[in-house]
Structure 1
């Protein structure tokens, strides 16, 4: 076997992003600048003044402005929830439960077993969920819960890590994955609304007739239309991809790694897979928050324990 090839495969692609640690608030400022430009083009330059024209123009402007502000509020709420919410880390003293069929494990035997696991590097990345070994991170020198991965950008292990997102300057993991999906959802709706509302102004740019407004206003509307159209198309593809991941109860990292796994035991049905991300309480599905009942009754939302297919099938037979 070619050792150099194996080394290339084992190299962590996220090291490419290590330099992005210094961006920090710059990316957040960039997002806010795009939002500000869009707000100026839609509200101040175009539909705000039209609101007082009367008739159908006023009704259209009122509808656009109400939808725009409602979606913008949800977008910003979801966005800053992703930015400010810790995706989930492994506690310093966390260790896996050693299940002994003969009863409670002796502490000395348990320590010896854990030490042998670390020494022999018996590290399962995905493994068979029904026979999953102890997972250990060489970089953090800690044990890893199921579905946990190390992020080279954050420099720590993240619970149910999906990816490190440059736009939110944070990892997307167990505790903020729902917020990230809602951010994509509301960003897609908002950019689509802006694209449709500025379409007529974009067309005016190519007409020979007299164009209302100043050249600066028209240029701003043109740039805003192009930006939002590009974002709407890109976010749509990204959103579809993550919907498929949620339905299959997998993450971006796991979707790549499980290609070598014959059976994915975490897929417990579309409905239950969805609930593991969004919770059971439907009133909280479209807001970046969880009900206390969901947090109390669903361990999967905490990022340490996940039901598997054999477990659910056994419960159904009882």
Structure 2
């Protein structure tokens, strides 16, 4: 029995290590898809169309302007998720305690005693855990308001980069939908009897770009709908799985602001205003407003 458990633990560790290595490959895959799409849309099809001097050139102009804008926002959001730390537990962090009861040095207590009193403790990291914080086996540490570990961005999605992840999904869906629609006539032409201009290489690139962007548009749409529902309830993927979805529900408007901030100028860019960062504790990942009557239900 012990041997079986040891083998299982070893396999899980190997799986987590493999996810780290896979992440670097996924970034290269994302850049490869972007490169193929750029070549098919700009170099092969709509770039040359600018010189036509008719209605087609006007269509090509607007497609290219919108394509480059969405691509810039997509890459800005993507690398913001990749390079932004989702948030770790500060070594000096302590939960609010009742000093009159002598709760001044919680680290001297046993984990079982802390958990009985509703104080969260990570046995792997050996430190106290803030609300909504979870341990990531891939990163090997506790992450503030952890949603999930995403191999596509080689990072955890948590308190400090969740907004950026949502914007990445949003702009990816818009960009891939634009590419799919703009390349649809060229894709249909593959199955027609008329002669199609272009070399076999450019035709194959256009075909591949259409198929890849259609697949990404459909798959990202599903993730986007799921995360919109999570934001509207002010919960995370982990909390939804654990069925802890009510405590932080403050109403749709305030739930949205807990992720995107209150400054509308920053809603669609991967950044926050200084004012929001100063007055909204939830954006720092350590404190969250909640329903008082449900506070006791987290544990």
Judge same fold: TM > 0.5, yes or no: yes
- Structure 1 Cα separation of the partners of residues 134 and 167 of structure 2: 23
Q: Distance in 1 between matches of 2:72 and 2:59?
A: 20
1:133 maps to what in 2?
A: 118
Contact kept? 1:279, 1:290, Cα under 8 Å: yes
- C-alpha separation in 1, matches of 2:118 and 2:25: 41
Residue 142 in 1 paired to residue 142 in 2?
Answer: no
Structure-2 change in CA distance of 1:52 and 1:311 (3 Å): farther
Deviations 1:219-240 (A, max 9, x none): 1101110000000000001000
Contact 1:194–1:228 (8 Å) recurs in 2: yes
Q: Any residues of structure 2 matched to 1:174-193 within 5 Å, and which? A: 174-193=159-178
Structure 2 Cα separation of the partners of residues 25 and 166 of structure 1: 8
Q: Is the 8 A contact 2:260 2:267 kept in 1?
A: yes
Structure 2 counterpart SS, 1:246: helix
Gaps of 5+ in 1: 1-9, 124-131, 313-318
Partner secondary structure for residue 83 of structure 1: helix
For 1:132-171, list aligned pairs within 5 A.
Answer: 133-171=118-156
1:27 is displaced (CA, Å) by 1.9
Contact 2:82-2:154 at 8 Å conserved across structures: yes
CA contact (8 A) 1:14 1:151 kept: no
Does 1:250 find its partner at 2:235? yes
Please report how far the alpha carbon of residue 24 of structure 1 lies from its aligned counterpart in structure 2 after TM superposition: 4.5
Q: Find the counterpart in structure 1 of residue 4 from structure 2.
A: none
- In the alignment, which residue of structure 1 is the partner of 2:115? 122
The answer (yes or no) to whether the contact 1:15–1:153 under 8 Å persists in 2 is no
Matches within 5 A, 1:39-118: 39-100=38-99, 102=100, 106=102, 109-111=103-105, 114-118=107-111
3-state DSSP of counterpart to 1:167: coil
Q: State the match for 1:127 in structure 2.
A: none
Q: Which of 282, 285, 297 is residue 303 of structure 1 equivalent to?
A: 285
Q: Which residue of 210, 224, 227 corresponds with 2:195?
A: 210
Number of matched residues? 291
Query: CA–CA distance in 1 between the matches of 2:12 and 2:213?
Result: 30
SS of the residue corresponding to residue 198 of structure 1 reads helix
Q: TM-score of the superposition, structure 2-length normalised? A: 0.90
Query: 2:297 matched to which residue of 1?
Result: none
Whether contact under 8 Å (2:77, 2:168) holds in the other structure is yes
1:117 CA displacement: 4.8
Q: For structure 2, list consecutive stretches of 5 or more residues without a partner in the other structure.
A: 1-8, 295-299
